[in-house]
Every structure is written in C-alpha cells, then in structure tokens.
Amino acid sequence: MRVLLIEDDTVLGAGVRDQISAEGHSVDWVTRLDDARDYLASATYDLVLLDLMLPDGRGLPFLRELRGRGAVTPVIILTALDQISDRIAGLNAGADDYLVKPFDLSELSARLAAVARRYSGNPNPLVTIGNLEIDLAARSVRRDGKLVSLTAREWALLEAFVQRPNQILSKAQLEERLYSFDTDIGSNTIEVHVSRLRKKLGKDMIETQRGIGYRLGGAS
C-alpha cells in the first residue's frame, strides 16, 4: 500500500514510518496539514494515518474537508485524545478506525491491514487463487501447501494484485504501491520484482498485458 502519514511527533512518526516500511508499504510522512494537502493532490494513497493535533490546525476539520470533497481513501486517526466523545467525533467525521497513543506498532499494523481488506471488498484475510493460499493477516503465502518466502517488496506487489482481483495494474500503479516521493525508481524495477514473483508463485500466475500492465491470473 501507499500510505500518507500525517504526524508531527518526530519520534512516533519515525517509528510508525519504519514499522510499515519494513512491511513493504510505501510511506510519505508529513508534519503539517498544508503539506498533506499538497501530497494528496499529487499522488493516490491507499490509506491515511492522521494525527488530530498538528502545528497548523486540527485533524478533524481536515478529515471533514476530505470527505466533503468525496474522498473515500481510508483514514485511521492516531491521537492522544482518549475520551469516548473524541472517538465518536472522529468516527462521525469519516474516520475508519481510531487508535489512541501510546499504541503498540504491531496493533497499528493489524488495524492497517484490516482497513485495507475492507476497502478491497474482501474482509476475509484468507484468499485462495489457483494453487496459492494467501493469508493477508499473517502476510504468508503457500503454494501447493508449501510456505513460500517473499521479500517485503514482493509481498507488497502480491497484496496489490490480491486487493484488486481480475484487474490489470499498470507499472505506474505498482510503482506507487512500492515507493515514496523520496525514492529513486529504476526503469526495470517492477519487471525484476514481477519476474521473481513468477519464479516463486508459478510462471503463469502473473499475466503480462503488453503495453498495459500486469494481472494476477491462474496457476498452471
């Protein structure tokens, strides 16, 4: 996934960024709402992590602004405001989840994955495609019952395909899932990762639509 993190606490922000980056997600981190607006106007995000107390404003009006424009990008609030009334206000403003600081980073990862599954239309973390058994919650995949070892980037690509079943994903879409604004991308990076995935999952599992992109198909 490509995630926009809006958090002005540098220690917490670095921890969250490193946690979800290690899981293969692309993360752009900003500390101000005006920067967040610029980033959202420049790229497509799969999820937003939003603090409620930023140097240039409050997160709830920002969230209402997003929803008022028709944005459906899932949003998880990260905040120290722990009253029931605060949670209700956040959910009523359009948040998909609400996590109170301090929180365990592994819990954040689990909630992030759960929200992503809901928006992909498949809340069940267990997915079977051909001879593959994919557990989105455990971040594991088995081929013919045998565990397949994937790198974080390989898993991120597989997750992108699983979350958009039967859809062709362009090279640009896949690059957005893997890389943030400050990352240099090689011209053949996606091709290399797709090739490695085919070796591990089966050569016919990922179909190439020449000149268009890639689609997760059936195993041979």
**Residues linked to residue 5 through DSSP beta bridges, in sequence order:** 29, 49
96 vs 24, residue with greater confidence: 96
Read off the pLDDT of each residue in 158-167 and give the average, rounded to a whole number: 84
112 and 148 share a domain?
no
> Any idea what DSSP says for residue 102?
S
74 and 44 share a domain?
yes
The chain-wide mean pLDDT, for the chain, equals: 88
135 and 157 share a domain?
yes
The answer to whether 95 touches 62, Cβ cutoff 8 Å, is: no
Before 123, cis peptide (omega within 30)? no
The CATH number for 72's domain is 3.40.50.2300
> Which domain does 115 fall in, by range?
2-119
111 and 23 share a domain?
yes
20 and 50 share a domain?
yes
pLDDT exceeds cutoff 50 at 219: no
The CATH number for 167's domain is 1.10.10.10
97 and 148 share a domain?
no
Q: How far apart are CA 127 and CA 86, in angstroms?
A: 36
| Residue 202, H or E segment | none
12 and 101 share a domain?
yes
Q: What's residue 95's pLDDT? A: 94
Q: Is the pTM of this model over 0.85?
A: no
* CB atoms closer than 10 angstroms to residue 2: 21
207 and 104 share a domain?
no
Q: What's residue 220's pLDDT? A: 37
Distance of CA 99 to the CA centre of its chain: 17
Distance of CA 101 to the CA centre of its chain: 21
Q: What pLDDT digit, counting tens, does each position of 103-132 carry?
A: 999 999 989 988 887 776 666 678 888 899
Domain boundary among 119, 147, 174: 119
Q: Classify strands 132-135 and 47-51 as parallel, antiparallel or unpaired.
A: unpaired
144 and 199 share a domain?
yes
Domain boundary among 75, 92, 119: 119
Read off the pLDDT of each residue in 34-59 and give the average, rounded to a whole number: 94
Q: What's residue 6's pLDDT? A: 98
Percent of the chain with pLDDT over 70: 93
Domain boundary among 66, 94, 119: 119
Q: What's residue 183's pLDDT? A: 62
98 and 134 share a domain?
no
145 and 194 share a domain?
yes
Domain count, the chain: 2
pLDDT exceeds cutoff 80 at 80: yes
